[in-house]
Amino acid sequence: MENWNDTQISEFLLQGLSEEPELQPLIFGLFLSMYLITVFGNLLIILAIISDPHLHTPMYFFISNLSFVDICFTSTTVPKMLLNIQTKSKVITYAGCITQMYFFMLFAALDDLLLSVMAYDRFVAICHPLHYTVIMNRRLCALLVLMSVIISAVQSLVHTLMVLRLSFCTDLEIPHFFCDLNQMVHCACSDSFLNDVVIIFASVLLGGGPLAGILYSYSKIVSSIRLTFATQGKYKAFSTCASHLSVVSLFYGTSLGVYLSSVATHNSYSSAIASVMYTVVTPMLNPFIYSLRNKDVKRALRIFLGRETRKGSIVWNRKSVH
């Protein structure tokens, strides 16, 4: 089979989640609903945190950043999928595919690193409460987020440059609803051994590393709570970690599920369907987890929404008078 140089490739074909025409309206409506919930839910969390001075703390600073990343994470894949369904086209340009792949990996890694940073924040708050404000100062918080962005951007750039060196065959169909790195590497005709090595290394480093940090932080948190807190204090300490633990479990659980399903079934479409969990469902559920399990966030949301309602009624009444 003849190889095409990567500069001659003009487009890829995204197969999506199903090729059944009668299922396309259902998929479109379902994903549009989940996308809108994700965007508006996370945006409300961000606005509530910004508008409430009581939430201007390191923990909520990281939560607002996580919400912003979740919006960007979902926005790299779902809008293009919805557009393809609406236009009945599977085409994505080569440049568009590379760009989508880069930003998808960027925000996925950033999501992972922010969860580990949030675990460190909880570790300092519970294990070193007297020094919390000194350790978790604004400069350190900004530096942790900045370092997370830099690491994520570098690893995404490395993977992207590794893909750019590959040559592709005439069969450029990707059995997924977005330009997944593994699927693109498997589409290549040239030797992709080095790409596979880099993917495994990066997965262990950026997947296992933050997870190990989270597990270590919570092992110290549990030990500290058992030794130093009374019964009521234990409940309060655990409640501050409950939302973060829920998000971590959801993120890593769905990611692991995608990996196991792809290994067990060797079916690309099964892997694509499983990917929906951590690419769409998890970012959609995060705002509900943080708002339903957090009294401070619920109070801030009520204040923010009440303020907006009052502003709207005041404007409406003024218009009515005039």
Query: What CATH number did the domain enclosing 151 receive?
Result: 1.20.1070.10
Whether residue 239 is contained in a domain is answered as yes
Whether residue 322 is contained in a domain is answered as no
What pLDDT, on the 0 to 100 scale, is given for residue 49? Answer: 92
What pLDDT, on the 0 to 100 scale, is given for residue 271? Answer: 73
- Rounded Cα gap, residues 117 and 104, in angstroms: 20
Per-residue pLDDT 10s for the chain (322 aa) are 344 444 457 789 998 888 888 889 999 999 999 999 999 999 999 999 999 898 899 999 999 999 999 999 999 999 999 999 999 999 999 999 999 999 999 999 999 999 999 999 999 998 898 999 999 999 999 999 999 999 999 999 999 999 999 888 766 888 889 998 988 888 888 888 899 899 989 988 888 899 999 999 999 988 888 877 566 666 666 777 888 888 888 888 877 766 666 555 556 666 777 788 888 998 999 888 887 767 788 888 888 887 655 454 444 444 444 4
Contact 27, 18 (CB under 8 A): yes
Whether residue 114 is contained in a domain is answered as yes
Q: Exposed, middle or buried, 53 (CB in 10 Å: 0-12/13-18/19+)?
A: exposed
Q: Who contacts 305 (Cβ-Cβ below 8 Å, separation ≥6)?
A: 44
Whether residue 268 is contained in a domain is answered as yes
- Half-sphere exposure of 251 toward its Cβ, with a 13 Å CA cutoff? 26
Whether residue 1 is contained in a domain is answered as no
What pLDDT, on the 0 to 100 scale, is given for residue 119? Answer: 94
What pLDDT, on the 0 to 100 scale, is given for residue 73? Answer: 96
What pLDDT, on the 0 to 100 scale, is given for residue 19? Answer: 80
Which tokens sit at 88?
């009945």
pTM of the model: 0.87
Whether residue 217 is contained in a domain is answered as yes
Q: Which residue has the tokens 């609406």?
A: 86
Estimate to the nearest angstrom the gap between the alpha carbon of 113 and the chain centroid. 10
Beta strands in 46-128 (DSSP E): 91-93
Fill in the amino acid letter for 138. R
What pLDDT, on the 0 to 100 scale, is given for residue 314? Answer: 44
Fill in the amino acid letter for 91. V
What range does the domain containing 196 cover? Answer: 6-317
- Rounded Cα gap, residues 23 and 88, in angstroms: 12
Say how many domains are in the chain.
1
Which tokens sit at 252?
């890593």
Whether residue 275 is contained in a domain is answered as yes
Contact 35, 277 (CB under 8 A): no
- Rounded Cα gap, residues 187 and 174, in angstroms: 7
